[in-house]
Amino acid sequence: MKFKALLASALLIVCSICYSEVKLPHIRVLATGGTIAGAAPTNTQTIDYKAGELSVQTLIDAVPELKNIAQIEGEQIVNIDSKNMTSDIILTLSQRVNELLAKDDVDGIVITHGTDTLDETSYFLNLTVKSDKPVVFTAAMRPSTAISADGPMNLLEAVTVAADPKSKNRGVMIVTNDRIGSARFTTKTNTTTTDSFHAIEQGALGVIVGGKPHFETRVDKIHTKDSTFDVSNLKALPTVVIIYGYQDDPEYLYDAVIANKADGIVYVGTGDGSVSDRSRNGINKALDAGIVVVRASRTGNGVVSESNIEPGIASDSLNPAKARILLMTALTQTRDPKLIQQYFHNY
């Protein structure tokens, strides 16, 4: 009898362990390359390394603690430096994320990405993912070979956030350096430091302390499952270019855009999206050619105002790169400037 009781107790313990493992959330890690997968010849080299050298499985294996947080599966989407990210790749990524999140056995997504264009890709998914399940981007400012590589901890914390039930319906998030940021507002603010990602005006959604997410706020803008945008059946995205405003900015840049039949232009104006006389002539020619124009600001912060004087749609608080992402996405549905202006205020 004593032996049977011990056997029953042992089986109960084993079953409890198995049950707890089964109940761990299922998180998919989608890798796209970047510094987090980068490598350099020496462990003190934090510049001039090669991005996108390591596979997704190598990244996962480097953080064995992940298995205590979630059931992890990896998938390599691409393995590139994010300066080479394209609209075709982000469209493929969005469609794959939607496909995975539609599965009952997938509880969240973590995407590893290069830092240079992470804010663009994450914002595109914020507009086009049709789920309230967590989608979390992470990255690194130092390659995997560096003494103080930040990638492993960032990956651990990104999975921790994606696995947390409180992370649902917060929009696409960016997790680096112990901070949880909104893809709508967060951007890279420094060329090399590990605390580069910030939303300077709006702040972070929360922080990670002692391995636990602490959420402090939410984003009021429309995102993810409530978004009107659906890219599931698209084969390509519209072409939108960015033209930077400065003293002596030339009109002929607009002639090139018109000749190449772009769908939209984001003009990076001075101050409150101000337009020089030379660019005004170019913008008016572009508008006459049916090209949709959005005015952003090169200042880095603030809301670009709607204007009866300046041509084009106001970018609201989006930086030029994110304004391009929203205009590109909006043009999949409409060319009506009034409706697109509302998109810029609401998304």
Burial of 263-296, coded b for 16+ CB within 10 Å and e otherwise, reads bbbbbbbbeebbbbebbbebbeebbeeebbbbbb
Q: Which of 35, 115, 128, 329 is catalytic?
A: 35
Query: How far apart, in whole angstroms, are the C-alpha atoms of residue 110 and residue 123?
Result: 14
Q: How far is CA 227 from the centre of its chain?
A: 16
- Would residue 35 show up in a list of annotated catalytic residues for this protein? yes
Q: Which residue has the tokens 């929009």?
A: 171
Q: Which residues pair with 214 in a beta bridge?
A: 207
Three-class SS of residue 210?
coil
Query: How far apart, in whole angstroms, are the C-alpha atoms of residue 174 and residue 172?
Result: 7
Per DSSP, 67 falls in state G
Query: Residues 70, 74, 75, 81: what is their CA dihedral angle, to the nearest 10 degrees?
Result: 100
Query: How far apart, in whole angstroms, are the C-alpha atoms of residue 257 and residue 264?
Result: 9
Decide: 179 and 154 in contact? Cβ < 8 Å: no
Decide: 99 and 142 in contact? Cβ < 8 Å: no
Identity of the amino acid at 285? K
Which residues are tagged catalytic?
Answer: 35
